[in-house]
Structure 1
Amino acid sequence: MKLVDGRPESTEGRLDKEIRVYDFLDSLGVKYQRVDHEAAMTMEACEEIDRTLSEGVDSGVAICKNLFLCNRQETDFYLLLMPGDKPFKTKYLSAQIGSSRLSFAKPEYMERYLDITPGSVSVMGLMNDKDNKVQLLIDEDVLQQEYFACHPCINTSSLRFRTADLVEKVIPAFDHEPVIVILMQA
């Protein structure tokens, strides 16, 4: 596994939604590094990827859990970015956003609103949510790291860029106002 600067040299064998992420980041002037890898379906499978993404970075990289959630009625949808090593407790989040009975949203909603599939959930999917159906929630600890990492809407590559670019360039371009939340450790 090797960390490289920017987009792949060739688009052959890559999905359009992945290429749209690179086009989006390039259009914003965001400098990013990329690592290509086997499909990463769990946080455990991400350990080697995490080590590669952290190369040359003293302060660490915020490797996030990206959870796609909904209310019981399946009318409100949320994308939660939280530290990968922090446990998720719905009661802490529900109270902060005023939505009880949160659960994981069905894959068809993920595909409809974010154009991503399970295992590929990423903040980058918000570029596909033109109708603002998904509320972005960010645990405050994610914003404390110098670097941020995510998938480019597929789980066979991972990206690293400055958290400041996420906050100052990427999220404003999505036109999704984030809600900062505080999730408690277990």
Structure 2
Amino acid sequence: MSEVQPKTQDELFQFLDSLGIEHTTKRHAPVFTVAESVALRDEIPGGHTKNLFVKDKKDNYFLLTVEENATVDLKTVHTIIGGASKVSFGRPEKLMEYLGVVPGAVTAFGVINDTQKQVKIIVDEALMKEATVNCHPLANDATTSIASKDLLRFIEATGHEPLVLKVAS
């Protein structure tokens, strides 16, 4: 299998621009956890995301994009998202292969790299209540703010169908 180079931040921004999607990006020190990113809240308004890259026993992969403080029950979420079994976290190699990102930089924007449509993306409905959603732009040293409706438009433009479901409590 040929190694596909993941898109760069600039390529992501060009894609958003080509869709006429407004976005702003703030650079910051790399953050690897939601806890580390809390310090940025005052500077970056809107809903902040937590992203879970999971798979079921049949190697179906899912990206769950939820509000940062949301709780996702990994024992039961498969019944909501259409998994064949309970889900577990996907391996870092698959994360890079499918979404072009490393652990700590998982983002809904990663679907731009999933040209083979290996990953089903689910956006939590509570997150969609936010006017603005904040995601890493393929790396964890910046945060890109985008209208929640435009996030769905972006996902569709990558050829994925964004499923808006209640996956978090």
TM-score under structure 2 length normalisation: 0.90
Give 1:143's aligned amino acid: M
**Corresponding residue of 1:177:** 161
| Greater helix share, structure number | 1
Bigger CA radius of gyration: 1
CA shift in 2, pair 1:40/1:176, >3 Å: same
> Quick check: 1:92–1:183 contact (8 Å CA) kept in 2?
no
CA shift in 2, pair 1:130/1:184, >3 Å: closer
SS in 1 for 2:101: coil
SS in 2 for 1:53: coil
> Quick check: 2:9–2:138 contact (8 Å CA) kept in 1?
yes
Cα distance, 1:71 vs structure 2: 0.9
**Corresponding residue of 1:97:** 81
Cα distance, 1:72 vs structure 2: 2.6
> Quick check: 1:35–1:49 contact (8 Å CA) kept in 2?
no
Give 2:124's aligned amino acid: D
**Corresponding residue of 2:12:** 21
The one-character-per-residue Cα deviations of 1:73-99 (angstroms, maximum 9, x if unpaired) are 4x2000001111111211341111232
Give 1:50's aligned amino acid: R
SS in 1 for 2:41: helix
Identity %: 27
**Corresponding residue of 1:31:** 22
> Quick check: 2:53–2:61 contact (8 Å CA) kept in 1?
yes
**Corresponding residue of 2:111:** 126
Which structure 2 residues correspond to residues 71-86 of structure 1 after superposition, within 5 A? 71-73=56-58, 75-86=59-70
> Quick check: 2:60–2:118 contact (8 Å CA) kept in 1?
yes
> Quick check: 1:36–1:158 contact (8 Å CA) kept in 2?
yes
Give 1:95's aligned amino acid: T
> Quick check: 1:92–1:184 contact (8 Å CA) kept in 2?
no
Give 2:57's aligned amino acid: R
Counterpart-to-counterpart distance in 2, 1:171 and 1:162:
13
The one-character-per-residue Cα deviations of 1:91-137 (angstroms, maximum 9, x if unpaired) are 34111123222011000001001111111101111011111000001
TM-score under structure 1 length normalisation: 0.82
Number of corresponding residues = 163
SS in 1 for 2:161: coil
Aligned pair partner of 1:45 in 26, 30, 36: 36
